[in-house]
């Protein structure tokens, strides 16, 4: 969706599993700026907390997570667009300290306590809160209103997950101009950084290992045209999975040493997870990491030690999966590894030394490209795409063309439960293709079309996206009626399917947004109203606090917003400190 004039600059948001990032194209400087948050950080934790007085988002939420784990929501990206009964969701909720239940349409709902009331939120609502936070960061930095945005998603996000991300943008009040794949955005950042518009083309492999997902893409770059040749990946392989291995290791260590199980203590698990995250980062530059957690469980102080070798042993199967996806991507592109000019590292988890070593060994000692910041590259590329769509940048960037592909085959079920592919995987998008189908019974007056994605020859091995019925078919012998089925996939990777009876002209169609938990217009409208109310309540609460501290003096809007941000951080830090004092003092 193109941006409207007067909506201000367009921004690019990398809505990550663990951290999010926002960037903007600056026409006056002819370059991208990654925007710092109110703490001066270029990335913001994808975390939302609910307290007895207000919401906290980002750093403020993360700072109090250990003392309020059951009301601190993270990893919403792992729930968005999925069913509650999905095996991945069931695996994740066992590790979450907050409660997740089954809602209408098998949609996962997050349960928290907010202002002494039990609230239930869809993952789209939590993601919308993060989008609002990134939007506010951008507006505060730019000093102007912003409305238009490009949001990035993993390559292997399904149609329903992409639609759910667009819904999150709508709930936030943003105009989502486009959804683009994360490695494609990173390739744009690489292309501009390397000045690939000049000279000969390049073939690059983007290796994006983030907090929750792995994306691998092979992309050719020539004269401003970015063509995706193949993709591979896993929407459930990232830094959080690596952290979980470490957490389980230390849970067992605690049990062995102290004969006490901490798995039913959410606060202890949250504190341990935070310590494991810090230890993992330390192991990128050290061969051993140590940490200490006061009164972790049953008033026991815990001292943890892990070597880099043990860390690699715990996660070696995950690391090898990464190289398997690289192999698959090369095979799908029908390329040899010698044809790759650069292997570009993206995502915070790509810093892990063992991951880099395995990649370098796979590519026969080739130096890996580390010239772009792995935490910022995706938002950087999204900002370029946003500016191009909004008509803000110079001609050379405006002419940039991104040709992405479908990660999975799309088709319909035919007799016998077989998959009839209409759009094969790795088809360049946007794309529109059609096929002719007929009836399987005499005098059939209606036809059910079931739409699937996947590579299985049988639909039972693939994902059902949606279904619709074409009625009013004139009775005729089987095989006589003909139906022209059209699959149209947009640049956002949103799929529309239609079927036309070539005899009568009767038509029916579906936009695949509902069968996997997509939100209705009424639900989105209700969530928009709720989001506005939550934001208003937060501002009222902050006004009370600031007024109490600063008397009846007047401040400018900008000064008030600065004070709000500062006070949010102070509140979360105060709560953490009070809890620490209470723990250390053995009570009040």
Catalytic residues: 14, 77, 182, 208
The answer to whether the Cα torsion of 507, 511, 514, 520 is positive or negative is negative
CA distances from 506 to 328, 436, 445, 446 (A): 42, 15, 12, 11
Distance CA 495, CA 486 (A): 10
Q: Taking Cα atoms as reference points, which of 373, 368, 371, 402 lies closest to residue 385? A: 402
Annotate 287-334 with three-state secondary structure.
CEEEEEEEEEECCEEEEEEEEHHHHHHHHHHHHHHHHHHHHHHHHHHC
- Whole-angstrom Cα Rg for the chain: 25
Distance CA 430, CA 180 (A): 12
- 482-504 as b/e: b if 16+ CB within 10 A: ebebbbbbbbbbbbebbbbbeee
Distance CA 246, CA 349 (A): 14
Strand partners, 207: 216, 345
Annotate 62-74 with three-state secondary structure.
HHCHHHCHHHEEE
Task: Name residues whose C-beta falls within 8 Å of residue 406's C-beta, 6 or more positions apart in sequence.
Answer: 423, 424, 425, 426, 427, 429, 431, 489, 493
Task: Name residues whose C-beta falls within 8 Å of residue 280's C-beta, 6 or more positions apart in sequence.
Answer: 239, 242, 243, 246, 289, 311, 352
DSSP per residue, 25-66: EETTTTEEEEPP-TTS-SSEE-EEEE-SS-EEETHHHHHTGG
The rounded Cα 144 to chain-centroid distance in angstroms is 27
Annotate 183-199 with three-state secondary structure.
HHHHHHHHHHHHCCCCC
Four-point Cα dihedral 187, 193, 196, 199, nearest 10: -160
Annotate 146-183 with three-state secondary structure.
CCEEEEEECCCCCHHHHHHHHHHHHHHCCEEEEEEEHH
CA distances from 123 to 49, 164, 258 (A): 14, 9, 37
Distance CA 37, CA 34 (A): 10
């Amino acid at each position: 969706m193109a941006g409207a004039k007067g909506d201000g600059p367009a921004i690019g948001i990398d809505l990550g599993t663990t951290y999010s990032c926002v960037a903007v194209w600056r026409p006056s400087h002819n370059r991208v700026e990654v925007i710092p948050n109110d703490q001066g950080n270029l990335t913001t934790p994808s975390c939302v907390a609910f307290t007895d007085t207000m919401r906290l988002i980002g750093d403020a939420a993360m700072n109090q997570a250990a003392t309020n784990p059951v009301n601190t929501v993270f990893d919403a990206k792992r729930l968005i667009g999925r069913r509650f009964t999905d095996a991945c969701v069931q695996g994740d909720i066992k590790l979450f300290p907050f409660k997740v239940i089954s809602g209408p349409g098998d949609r996962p709902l997050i349960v928290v306590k907010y202002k002494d009331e039990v609230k239930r939120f869809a993952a789209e609502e939590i993601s919308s809160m993060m989008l609002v936070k990134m939007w506010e960061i951008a507006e505060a930095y730019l000093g102007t209103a912003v409305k238009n945005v490009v949001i990035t998603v993993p390559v292997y996000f399904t149609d329903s997950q992409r639609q759910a991300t667009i819904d999150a943008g709508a709930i936030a009040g943003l105009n989502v101009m486009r959804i683009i794949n994360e490695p494609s955005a990173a390739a744009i950042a690489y292309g501009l950084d390397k000045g690939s518009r000049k000279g000969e083309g390049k073939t690059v492999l983007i290796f994006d290992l983030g907090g929750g997902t792995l994306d691998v893409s092979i992309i050719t770059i020539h004269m401003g045209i970015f063509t995706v040749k193949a993709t591979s990946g896993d929407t459930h392989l990232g830094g959080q999975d690596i952290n979980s291995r470490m957490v389980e290791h230390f849970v067992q260590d605690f049990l062995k040493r102290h004969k006490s199980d901490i798995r039913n203590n959410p606060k202890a698990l949250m504190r341990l997870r935070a310590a494991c995250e810090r230890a993992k980062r330390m192991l990128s530059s050290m061969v051993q990491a140590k940490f200490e957690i006061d009164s972790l469980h049953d008033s026991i102080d815990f001292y943890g030690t892990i070597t880099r070798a043990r860390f690699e042993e715990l996660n070696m199967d995950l690391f090898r999966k990464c190289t398997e996806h690289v192999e698959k991507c090369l095979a799908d592109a029908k390329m040899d590894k010698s044809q790759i000019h650069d292997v570009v590292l993206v995502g915070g988890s790509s810093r892990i030394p063992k991951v880099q070593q395995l990649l370098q060994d796979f590519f026969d000692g080739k130096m890996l490209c580390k010239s772009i910041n792995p935490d910022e590259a995706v938002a950087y590329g999204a900002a370029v795409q946003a500016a191009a769509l909004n008509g803000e940048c110079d001609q050379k960037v405006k002419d940039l063309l991104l040709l992405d592909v479908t990660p999975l085959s799309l088709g319909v079920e035919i007799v016998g439960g077989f998959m009839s592919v209409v759009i094969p995987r790795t088809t360049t998008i946007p794309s529109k293709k059609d096929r002719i189908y007929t009836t399987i019974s005499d005098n059939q007056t209606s036809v059910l079309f079931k739409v699937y994605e996947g590579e299985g020859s049988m639909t039972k091995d693939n994902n059902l996206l949606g279904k619709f019925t074409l009625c009013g078919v004139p009775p005729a012998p089987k095989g006589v009626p003909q139906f022209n089925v059209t699959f149209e996939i947009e640049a956002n990777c949103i799929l529309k399917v239609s079927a036309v009876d070539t005899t009568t002209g009767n038509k029916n169609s579906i936009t695949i947004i509902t069968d996997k938990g997509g939100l209705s217009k009424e639900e989105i409208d209700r969530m928009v109203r709720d989001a506005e109310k939550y934001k208003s309540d937060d501002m009222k609460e902050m006004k009370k606090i600031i007024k109490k501290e600063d008397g009846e003096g007047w401040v400018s809007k900008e000064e008030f917003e600065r004070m709000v941000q500062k006070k949010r951080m102070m509140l979360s830090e105060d709560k953490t400190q009070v809890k620490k004092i209470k723990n250390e003092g053995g009570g009040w």
